[in-house]
Amino acid sequence: MLIIVDTHNKDYVESRDLYEKAQSVVVVDHHRKTVNFIDNAVIFHHEPYASSASEMVTEIIQYFNYSSDEKIASCHADALLAGIMLDTKNFVMRTGVRTFEAAAYLKKMGADTVAVKLLFSNSIDSYRRKTQIVASAKIHNNCAIAAADFKSDDIRLVAPQAADELLGITDVDASFVIYKTGSTVNISARSLGALNVQIIMEQLGGGGHQTVAATQLEGVTVEDAVKALIFAIDDCRNNTSE
């Protein structure tokens, strides 16, 4: 049995070969359903109103009926709490009663909030690269757009962090960080809810959630990606205003 979490799109699984060889598939995901969803799952646990896949997994674990002297490993509790904190931006976005109940249960199971905080710590070099991306941002239609003009081993880490950081700018409804890995141009999108970045990323062949989304573009330059992104932003704004 293969359990797939945090995506229901067969194109986004970690290993397509493993997925195709699995006799039984279970899906646990909170993203809005797309057209290319996994249609052969024996269990398709889909809850778009959940804050994160980690919240959903935590709720499932509570049905295991552990006895008073049994607990999940503290490192597992830490990982699940980290997933909730990451997707909710430290319990700010898409946070409901169920989110806090899941966090409280993980704390009861031994989750260490200090250990979770350390999981998100960066080296000084990574921090410099993040601030470099933030400093290069330009504002268009209340959206912060930054393009990373450098390559680094941790670009997949610092780019989304930079996108989160850009949301702290006054009057910025959404942020987009564009960076290149190999021949692929990636766009990491973030929002506080005023603008649905999922719709914008879907126009560019990607997807995600209302406040967290992304896409990958092949055969284009970073400059072309910026132009396509601006067009998608303006199109979304115009449709929303109508």
Return d(Cα 186, Cα 152) in angstroms, integer: 14
What confidence score (pLDDT) does residue 161 get?
Answer: 92
pLDDT class for 162, splitting at 50, 70, 90?
very high
Tell me: the pLDDT tens digits for 114-142? 999 988 888 899 999 999 999 999 999 99
Return d(Cα 226, Cα 228) in angstroms, integer: 5
Mean pLDDT of all residues in 61-77: 81
- CATH code of the domain occupying 2-118: 3.90.1640.10
pLDDT of residue 241 exceeding 70, the answer is no
Tokens 């766009």 -> residue: 187
Tell me: the pLDDT tens digits for 188-213? 999 988 899 999 999 999 887 788 88
Provide the CATH topology of domain 124-241: Diaminopimelate Epimerase; Chain A, domain 1 (3.10.310)
Structure tokens at 9: 């799109």
Mean pLDDT of all residues in 73-89: 92
DSSP lists the bridge partners of residue 178 as: 147, 187
Return d(Cα 19, Cα 32) in angstroms, integer: 21
Structure tokens at 48: 């778009």
Domain boundaries, the chain: 2-118, 124-241
Nearest CA to 195 among 144, 126, 146?
144
Return d(Cα 172, Cα 140) in angstroms, integer: 9
Return the H-helix or E-strand segment holding 52. none
Tell me: the pLDDT tens digits for 22-65? 999 999 999 878 777 898 999 999 998 899 999 999 999 988 86
What confidence score (pLDDT) does residue 59 get?
Answer: 94
What confidence score (pLDDT) does residue 120 get?
Answer: 86
DSSP lists the bridge partners of residue 180 as: 185
